[in-house]
């Protein structure tokens, strides 16, 4: 194995064995997102109005709150995987790529935690 | 030979967007990526909406006042011009986000078909690329029509 050229550094290492996992999880989360997005769209259409009382009354009930929590999580998960692909395509510098995916991971977990805390507070009557 | 770092050597790159002739498949594929990023912006709006619900009636009114302002009640004096423009922009963003989500879902369904190895024959590929792109816009319009006219 060479140690100078870029092809020489990777020759013989084989596949990373994680690319197809990423590909599959995008599809799994896409199906989850599709189901929950249809639910969300129908729910919005069935709301009597979009005033605070009507929306709050709906969102805090157990089934909508559960679906909202899943809706938040699956969309953030799917978006995180998709944005990673976009970053890998357009950010060519290795250092910047590392930094942007690091930032993506931080934002992903922060957004997921924030969304869950909001839904839980709605569901458990804290708000 | 070729001991320099990967960035020092100019390797040939595959031709980018501007060199290809546009076709339905290319449009659908590019829109899938654009709407995917747009739908990610939608997550921010979703989280703002949930946080506003948690905050109570006053914070919920702040949210709706920004994202879905009454356009007839906008003020056009002094600094209010800026806030009014942002309110109009946010309304466009919300409609755009709804299209991003619906359009991404429809072109995503097309990708599921392509994933199983079907739909690559040229006429079929052009047909379904066109159908998925148009359907995303039609479904978005239908959603808003149902929402606003009910």
> In this structure, is the dihedral angle defined by the CA atoms of residues A69, A73, A74 and A79, taken in order, positive or negative?
positive
Task: Let me know if residue A32 belongs to a domain.
Answer: yes
**Global pTM value:** 0.88
pLDDT in tens, chain B (150 residues): 445 555 556 777 777 777 888 899 999 999 999 999 999 999 999 999 999 999 999 999 999 999 999 999 899 999 999 999 999 999 999 999 999 999 999 999 999 999 999 999 999 999 999 999 999 999 999 999 999 998
Q: What is the CATH number of the domain that holds A105?
A: 1.20.1300.10
Among candidates B131, B76, B80, which has minimal Cα distance to B106?
B131
- Mutation choice for B interface testing from A24, A46, A52, A81 by most B CBs within 10 A: A52
| Angle between helical axes of B80-115 and B24-55 (0-180°, round to 10) | 130
Whether A50 and B146 lie within 8 Å, measured CB to CB: no
Task: Let me know if residue A70 belongs to a domain.
Answer: yes
Contact call for residues A83 and B37 (beta carbons, < 8 A): yes
What is the residue range of A83's domain?
18-123
Q: Tokens 């997102």 correspond to what residue?
A: A33
Facing B43 at nearest CB: one of A68, A86, A111: A111
Task: Let me know if residue A83 belongs to a domain.
Answer: yes
Residue B9 CA neighbour count, 13 Å, CB half: 12
Distance CA A39, CA A116 (A): 18
Coil vs helix vs strand at A5: coil
B3 touches chain A (CB under 8 A): yes
B50 touches chain A (CB under 8 A): yes
What is the per-residue pLDDT for B18? 76
Facing B54 at nearest CB: one of A33, A76, A121: A121
A35's CB contacts (< 8 A; 6+ apart) are: none
What is the per-residue pLDDT for A109? 98
> In this structure, is the dihedral angle defined by the CA atoms of residues B3, B4, B6 and B9, taken in order, positive or negative?
negative
Task: Let me know if residue A86 belongs to a domain.
Answer: yes
Contact call for residues A94 and B5 (beta carbons, < 8 A): no
Domains belonging to chain B, first-starting first, are 31-149 (1.20.1300.10)
Distance CA B27, CA B103 (A): 12
Number of domains forming the structure of chain A: 1
Distance CA B69, CA B91 (A): 8
SS (H, E, C) A45-61: HHCCCCCHHHHHHHHCC
Region A60-88 average pLDDT: 97
B78 touches chain A (CB under 8 A): no
What is the per-residue pLDDT for B1? 42
What is the per-residue pLDDT for B17? 72
More confident residue, A111 or B72: A111
Task: Let me know if residue A22 belongs to a domain.
Answer: yes
| Chain A to chain B Cβ contacts (< 8 Å) | 82
Chain B residues within 8 A of A115 when measuring between CB atoms: 46-47, 50
Distance CA A64, CA B145 (A): 24
Task: Tell me the shortest Cα–Cα distance from A56 to chain B, in angstroms.
Answer: 6
ipTM for the complex shown? 0.89
What is the per-residue pLDDT for B36? 98
B86 touches chain A (CB under 8 A): no
Please tell me which residue of chain A has the smallest CA distance to B47. Answer: A115
Whether A45 and B56 lie within 8 Å, measured CB to CB: no
Task: Tell me the shortest Cα–Cα distance from B72 to chain A, in angstroms.
Answer: 19
Task: Let me know if residue A3 belongs to a domain.
Answer: no
What is the per-residue pLDDT for A58? 97
Task: Let me know if residue A11 belongs to a domain.
Answer: no
């Amino acid at each position: 194995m060479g140690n100078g050229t870029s092809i020489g550094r990777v020759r013989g290492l084989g596949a990373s064995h994680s690319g197809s996992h990423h590909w599959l999880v995008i599809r799994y989360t896409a199906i989850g997102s599709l189901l929950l997005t249809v639910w969300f769209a129908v729910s919005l259409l069935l709301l009597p109005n979009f005033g605070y009382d009507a929306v709050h009354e709906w969102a805090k009930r157990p089934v909508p709150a559960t679906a909202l929590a899943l809706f938040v999580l699956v969309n953030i998960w799917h978006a995180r995987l998709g944005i990673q692909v976009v970053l890998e395509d357009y950010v060519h510098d290795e250092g910047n790529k590392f930094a942007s995916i690091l930032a993506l991971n931080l934002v992903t977990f922060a957004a997921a935690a924030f969304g869950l805390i909001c839904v839980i507070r709605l569901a458990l009557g804290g708000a | 030979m070729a001991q320099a770092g990967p960035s020092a050597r100019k390797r040939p790159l595959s031709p980018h967007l501007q060199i290809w002739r546009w076709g339905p498949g290319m449009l659908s594929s590019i829109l899938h990526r654009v709407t995917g990023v747009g739908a990610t912006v939608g997550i921010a709006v979703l989280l703002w909406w949930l946080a506003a619900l948690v905050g109570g009636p006053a914070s919920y009114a702040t949210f709706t006042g920004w994202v879905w302002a009454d356009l007839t009640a906008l003020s056009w004096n002094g600094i209010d011009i800026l806030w009014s423009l942002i309110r109009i922009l946010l309304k466009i963003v919300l409609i755009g986000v709804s299209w991003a989500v619906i359009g991404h879902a429809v072109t995503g369904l097309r990708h599921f078909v392509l994933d199983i190895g079907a739909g690559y024959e040229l006429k079929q590929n052009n047909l379904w690329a066109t159908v998925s792109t148009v359907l995303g816009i039609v479904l978005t319009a239908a959603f808003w029509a149902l929402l606003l006219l009910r």
